[in-house]
Amino acid sequence: MNMTLRAMLGATVSLTLAGAALAETTITVATVNNGDMIRMQGLMDAFNAKHPDIKVEWVTLEENVLRQKVTTDIATKGGQFDVMTIGTYEAPIWGKQGWLVSLNDLPADYDVDDLLPAIRGGLTVDGNLVAAPFYGESSMVMYRTDLMEKAGLTMPDAPSWDFIREAAEKMTDKAGEVYGICLRGKAGWGENMAFLTAMSNSFGAKWFDMDWKPQFDQQPWKDTLTFYLDLMNNYGPPGASNNGFNENLALFQQGKCGMWIDATVAASFVTNPKDSTVADKVGFALAPDKGLGKRGNWLWAWNLAIPAGTQKEEAAKTFVAWATSKDYLALVAEKEGWANVPPGTRTSLYANPEYQKVPFAKMTLDSINAADPTHPTVDEVPYVGVQFVAIPEFQGLGTAVGQMFSAALAGSTSAEDALAQAQAMVTTEMTRSGYIK
C-alpha cells in the first residue's frame, strides 16, 4: 500500500514537472477568435513552408478574455506571449509605455507606405509603428434598397442625420415587424459607446476638453443622446437596450431593419445569401453627419504587436510581417476568394480590380478614410481615438457611461439624468486619476 501510493504520487509529480521542452523558435501568438484570425490558422502551411525554423503556437481566445490576459501579461512583464493581437485602443497606450517593439524596420517588401493612412496613424506612436494592422473596419449605413424605394426616397452616398430620421420614419411598419433603424443599445465601451461616441463626434460633441474636463453637460452631448433616443424609441426594434452587433445582425438578416449603422465587416454577413434573407436588397452609405465636418463612423483594427522583452523578437517579426503582408492577402484570395480577404489595411487591396468587384469594398474604404483617429472631433481634444479615448481609464469609464445610456434607452432614466450621472461619475474618476488638477 505504502509503496504503491508513493509510486503513484511520484509519477504524478514527475508528470507535472515534465513540461514541454521549448524549441528555440516556437513563438506563442495570442489572438482573438474572429473569422479572419481562424482562417489564418488554417493557412499556416504556407508560412511553415517558407519558414520551417519557426513554429507558431496559437492561443485563441474570446475577445474579452484575450484583452484581459494580454493586458495582465504585458503590464506585469509576464513574458507569456511573443506576438499579441491588440486593438487600436491598446496600441497607442501601450506604445506610449514603451511596451511594444517598434516595427519600423520591417523588410522593404512589407511596404509600410501601402497601409491606409487612417489605420497607420492610429498605430503610430512618436513616429514608431507599434503594431501591424491585420484587418481594419469602420462603420457605415447598411439599408434595404427595396424598403427605401417603397418609401419613395433615395439614399445619398453621404447622408445626413436628418435624412436618416426621415427615412427611418417612412420605413417603419411596426405592424409588419419592420423597424426603420437598428442601432446598438447594449452597454459596453465597445458596444453602445462605440456607436454613441462616434455619433457624438458628428454632433460636435467630445468626451473631454483640452483640460480633460468631461463634456457630458454640454449641448452637443444632449443633442446626440436625445436624437438617438428619439430615433430608437420611435423607429427602433423593441428591447433595443440589449442589442449589440450580433443581435442587430440577426434582426437585419431576418428583414426586420430598414437601416442599420454598424461595423463594415457586417456587410459580408448581410449580403451572404446563406444566412441572410435580404442578401440581394442591401445598399451601403457612409455614416451620417450633421454638416459639421465629421461623420459618425468609427475606426477599429485588430493588429499584431510584439511585446518588448520577448526573447524571440526576430522570429516574431518574421511572422508579423508575413501575416500582414500583401502576399498573405493574395494567399487568402487564392485559397478562399477575394470576399474573405482581411479588409481595411492596405491601399493596394482597394486598387486591385479583382477586389473592387466585392460589392462593399468601396464603401468600406471610403468609411475608413472618413475617420481620423488623431483628429476625431470637431473641436480640438487632448486625446487620440474615434469611438474611444486612448487613455487607460477609458475601458472602465466607457462601460459605466454605457450602462447609464443603456438605462436611458430602456426608459429607466431620462436623458438628462443619464448625462448628469455620467458627468458626475467621469469627473470623479478623472479627478481621482489626476487628469483634472
Closer residue to another protein, CB minimum distance, 55 or 222 = 55
Of residues 100 through 159, those in contact with another protein by CB under 8 A are: none
Pick one of 44, 331, 407, 436: the residue that binds another protein (CB under 8 A): 407
| 410 is a contact residue toward another protein (CB under 8 A) | yes
CB of 107 to another protein, least distance (A): 28
Is 65 a binding residue for another protein by CB under 8 A? The answer is yes
299-305 and 83-87 beta bridge pairing? antiparallel
Q: Which of 396, 411, 414, 416 binds another protein (CB under 8 A)?
A: 396
Minimum CB separation of residue 106 from another protein in Å reads: 25
For another protein, the binding residue among 175, 211, 274, 353 (CB under 8 A) is 274
- The interface region with another protein, picked from 7-15, 278-286, 326-334, 344-352 by CB under 8 A, is 7-15
Q: Which is nearer to another protein, 238 or 353 (CB)?
A: 238
Q: Which is nearer to another protein, 41 or 414 (CB)?
A: 41
Contact between 175 and another protein by CB under 8 A: the answer reads no
- One-character DSSP codes across 273-331: TTT-TTGGGEEEEEPPB-SSS-BS--EEEEEEE-BTT-TTHHHHHHHHHHHTSHHHHHH
Quote the CA–CA distance of 356 and 349 in Å, as a whole number.
8
Binding positions for another protein, 17-46, rule CB under 8 A: 17, 19-20, 28, 30, 33-35, 38, 41-42
Alpha helices by DSSP H, listed for 32-189, are: 35-42, 44-50, 63-75, 90-97, 117-122, 145-150, 161-171
The C-alpha atoms of residue 292 and residue 372 are separated, in whole angstroms, by 15
Q: Tell me, by CB under 8 A, how many residues bind another protein.
A: 74
What residues does 286 pair with on adjacent strands?
A: 140
Q: Does 15 bind another protein (CB under 8 A)?
A: yes
Q: How far is the CB of 239 from another protein (least distance, A)?
A: 5
Q: How far is the CB of 277 from another protein (least distance, A)?
A: 12
Cα gap 269→230, rounded to integer Å: 28
Q: Is residue 233 close enough to count as binding another protein by CB under 8 A?
A: no
Q: How far apart are CA 112 and CA 414, in angstroms?
A: 48
Q: Is 427 in the site for another protein (CB under 8 A)?
A: no
AA identity, residue 286: L
Terminal C-alpha separation, the chain: 70
For the CA atoms of 278, 279, 281, 285, what is the dihedral angle to 10 degrees?
Answer: 110
Q: How many Cβ atoms sit within 10 Å of the Cβ of residue 326?
A: 16
Residue (152 or 238) nearer to another protein, CB: 238
Considering the rule CB under 8 A, would residue 351 count as an interface residue with another protein? no
CA distance 400 to 140: 25
Is 269 an interacting residue with respect to another protein (CB under 8 A)? yes
Nearer to another protein, 174 or 375 (CB): 174
432 touching another protein, by CB under 8 A: yes
